[in-house]
Amino acid sequence: MKKIAIMGCGWLGKALAQSLIAKGYHVRGSVTTENHLEGLRNLGIEPFLIKLNNEAITGNLTAFLKEVDTLVIAFPPGLRKNPKANYANRIKILVTALTEHSSCKLVMLGSIGVFGSSQGVVNEKSTPKPDNLSGQQLLEAEKSILTAINHATIVRLGGLVGGDRHPAKQLAGRINIPAPLALTNLVHREDVVRFLMAIIEGGHWGKTLHCVSPVHQRRVDFYTLAAKRLNLPLPAFATTGSTRNKVVMDDSSAGLFDFTYRLADCGVEVT
């Protein structure tokens, strides 16, 4: 039985773990607080308490990675909750620790945030030009992963939607929201899980991939209709112009492992 470890087994990680378990994998998951351990155990995930901070890793990383075939790095930069977090350095520390586990393959869950908001249409071959600290740290983290001795694939995720999580909730009732005509770059959690399963099961390593819905809708249309369907207060968008024009394309997965997005409209089909 192959062992898979998910570092940062939260909202997305648990969904991936359940899919892996259904396919017969043994899954280990790490969390940073003790009160989340029992929740993982109840889902059939072997739980570990591991913290990766700016200076060091605490917890039994050796036991977590023992005989593991693939490690999924699934924790976010965390700058919103902790402005002092240094995601790039944390990934660098992890890559150094992984020299003791050279046979373990890596899937790093990154973000399309590596691209600046005014970069226009970009794909996997485009050069990222981040325009904020989070994007800069994400790009530096990618560079560290590419130096690892482990076989690794980077998956840049679009904005995540699924279950009880929807970005429309964050915009509900807000006013003067910028960039009404900018296009969405979202992806549904169910599609992300299928995308990651295809990589792990198919052994697609040494890649930098984009997992983003091919349907890009105007923000004002998408979020207004989403708010209506979710019975949320309607958002009010600004009438001023914006240079925000980023559109992220997935130009690789269809050819690489015949992938199609089943929830391409992310639950809101704007007509």
Q: How far apart are CA 155 and CA 12, in angstroms?
A: 13
Which CATH number belongs to the domain containing residue 146 in this structure? Answer: 3.40.50.720
Does 130 have pLDDT greater than 90?
yes
Q: Is residue 269 domain-resident?
A: no
Q: How far apart are CA 242 and CA 234, in angstroms?
A: 21
Question: What's the predicted TM-score (pTM) here?
Answer: 0.96
- pLDDT, residue 49, reads 98
Counted domains in the chain: 1
Q: Is residue 192 domain-resident?
A: yes
pLDDT digits (tens, 9 = 90+) for 198-248: 999 999 999 999 999 999 999 999 999 999 999 999 999 999 889 999 999
Does 271 have pLDDT greater than 70?
no
pLDDT digits (tens, 9 = 90+) for 80-100: 888 888 999 999 999 999 999
Q: Which of 83, 82, 76 is nearest to 113 (CA)?
A: 76
Q: Is residue 253 domain-resident?
A: no
Parent domain of 198: 3-162+187-212
Burial state string for 128-166 with b = 16 or more CB within 10 A and e = fewer than 16: bebeeebbbbbbbbbebbeebebbbbbbbbbbbbbeeeb
The two three-digit tokens of residue 92, written as one number: 């660098």
Q: Is residue 106 domain-resident?
A: yes
Q: Is residue 172 domain-resident?
A: no
Q: Is residue 222 domain-resident?
A: no
The two three-digit tokens of residue 82, written as one number: 């902790």
Write phi, then psi, for 266 (nearest 5 degrees).
55, 35
pLDDT digits (tens, 9 = 90+) for 10-32: 999 999 999 999 999 999 999 99
